[in-house]
C-alpha cells in the first residue's frame, strides 16, 4: 500500500487502492473507476481530496471480455516492462478474443471504461477524434491539434458522440454524429492492417497518427 502525501498540507497517509479490479466479482468498483473516485483519498488532517496518480491497476471486466492495464510512467521497472511484454503475449493467446489495452493515466482508464460500457470500439473512437480535430483545425481552431480530446458519452435518440477537450482553462464539448463513428468503424473493418498491436496495446492519438498521420 503506497504512502501518499497530501498536496495541500503535506500530511502522509497510507492509501489502499486495489491493484486488480474484477467488476464481475466486485461490481461496486465499476462506478469508482468510471468517475475516478476510486483513486481519490481525503486528507484526514485538512479534508482536501487528493488523487493517486502513480499506482498501477489492472481493470478486468470478464463480461465485456476487457482488460485495461493502467501503468503510470515510473510505476514499473524496465525488467517488469520486459516480463509484461512476454506475459501479455501469453494472455492474448490464452484469452483469445479479449480486448487488452494499456493506458498511462487515470483519465484514460476512465475513458476506456466509458467507451466499452457504451458498446463502442475504442479504435473507431480514436479515429473519430482524429477526424473531428482535423475538421475543427480546418475551421481555424489550430490549438485543437494538440488538445487532449476525451470520449464523454453517447447521448440522445441519434446516439451523438460527445467529446470533451480543454480550451482556455475550461472544458469544452463537441458532439459528432453517429454516422462519423460508423464511417470510422467501416474504414477500420475494410483495412485489416489498421489494428492494435499484440498484447496490452496502446490505442490513442499516436496510434491513429501511425496510420493516418
Ligand atoms: Zn491535507
If you measure from the C-alpha of residue 13 to the centroid of ligand 1, how many angstroms do you get, rounded to a whole number?
A: 9
| Cβ atoms within 10 Å, residue 10 | 10
Comparison of pLDDT for 53 and 105, the residue scoring more: 105
If you measure from the C-alpha of residue 1 to the centroid of ligand 1, how many angstroms do you get, rounded to a whole number?
A: 19
Comparison of pLDDT for 199 and 101, the residue scoring more: 101
If you measure from the C-alpha of residue 7 to the centroid of ligand 1, how many angstroms do you get, rounded to a whole number?
A: 7
Cell of 182: 460508423
Query: Sign of the CA dihedral 51, 19, 105, 31?
Result: negative
Residue 9 half-sphere exposure toward CB, CA atoms < 13 A:
11
If you measure from the C-alpha of residue 122 to the centroid of ligand 1, how many angstroms do you get, rounded to a whole number?
A: 37
Ligand 1 is an ion; residues with CB less than 5 A from it: 6, 8-9, 11, 43, 45-46, 48
Q: What is the rounded average pLDDT of the residues 197-210?
A: 91
Cell of 157: 435518440
Whether 40 and 1 have beta carbons less than 8 Å apart is answered as: no
Residue carrying C-alpha cell 493517486? 52
pLDDT tens-digit map of 143-200:
898 889 999 999 999 999 999 999 989 999 999 999 999 999 999 999 999 999 888 8
CA distance 49 to 27: 24
CA distance 113 to 101: 11
Whether 202 and 193 have beta carbons less than 8 Å apart is answered as: no
pLDDT tens-digit map of 37-81:
999 999 999 999 999 988 899 999 999 999 999 999 877 777 777
If you measure from the C-alpha of residue 45 to the centroid of ligand 1, how many angstroms do you get, rounded to a whole number?
A: 5
CA distance 36 to 2: 18
pLDDT tens-digit map of 109-159:
999 999 999 999 999 999 999 999 999 999 998 889 888 999 999 999 999
Burial of 210 (0-12, 13-18, 19+ CB in 10 A): exposed
If you measure from the C-alpha of residue 154 to the centroid of ligand 1, how many angstroms do you get, rounded to a whole number?
A: 37
Cell of 123: 479504435
pLDDT of residue 142: 87
If you measure from the C-alpha of residue 160 to the centroid of ligand 1, how many angstroms do you get, rounded to a whole number?
A: 41
Strand partners, 161: 154, 176
State the pTM of this model: 0.91
DSSP string, 148-182: --EEEEEETTTTEEEEEEEETTEEEEEEE-HHHHH
- With bands split at pLDDT 50, 70 and 90, how would you rate the model's confidence at 1? low
pLDDT for 25 beyond 70: yes
If you measure from the C-alpha of residue 71 to the centroid of ligand 1, how many angstroms do you get, rounded to a whole number?
A: 26
Amino acid at each position: 500500500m503506497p504512502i501518499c502525501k497530501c498536496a495541500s498540507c503535506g500530511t502522509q497517509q497510507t492509501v489502499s487502492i486495489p491493484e486488480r479490479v474484477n467488476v464481475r466479482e466486485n461490481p461496486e468498483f465499476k462506478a469508482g473507476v468510471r468517475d475516478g473516485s476510486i483513486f481519490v483519498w481525503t486528507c484526514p488532517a485538512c479534508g482536501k481530496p487528493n488523487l493517486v496518480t502513480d499506482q498501477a491497476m489492472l481493470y478486468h471486466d470478464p463480461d465485456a471480455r476487457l482488460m485495461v492495464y493502467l501503468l503510470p510512467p515510473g510505476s514499473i521497472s524496465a525488467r517488469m516492462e520486459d516480463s509484461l511484454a512476454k506475459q501479455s503475449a501469453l494472455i492474448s493467446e490464452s484469452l483469445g478474443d479479449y480486448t487488452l489495452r494499456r493506458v498511462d493515466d487515470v483519465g484514460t482508464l476512465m475513458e476506456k471504461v466509458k467507451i466499452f460500457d457504451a458498446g463502442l470500439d475504442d479504435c473507431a473512437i480514436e479515429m473519430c477524434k482524429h477526424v473531428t480535430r482535423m475538421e475543427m483545425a480546418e475551421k481555424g481552431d489550430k490549438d485543437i491539434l494538440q488538445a487532449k480530446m476525451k470520449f464523454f458519452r453517447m447521448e440522445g435518440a441519434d446516439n451523438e458522440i460527445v467529446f470533451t477537450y480543454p480550451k482556455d482553462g475550461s472544458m469544452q464539448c463537441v458532439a459528432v454524429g453517429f454516422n462519423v463513428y460508423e464511417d470510422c468503424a467501416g474504414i477500420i473493418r475494410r483495412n485489416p492492417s489498421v489494428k492494435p498491436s499484440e498484447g496490452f496495446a496502446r490505442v490513442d492519438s499516436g496510434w491513429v497518427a501511425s496510420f493516418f498521420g
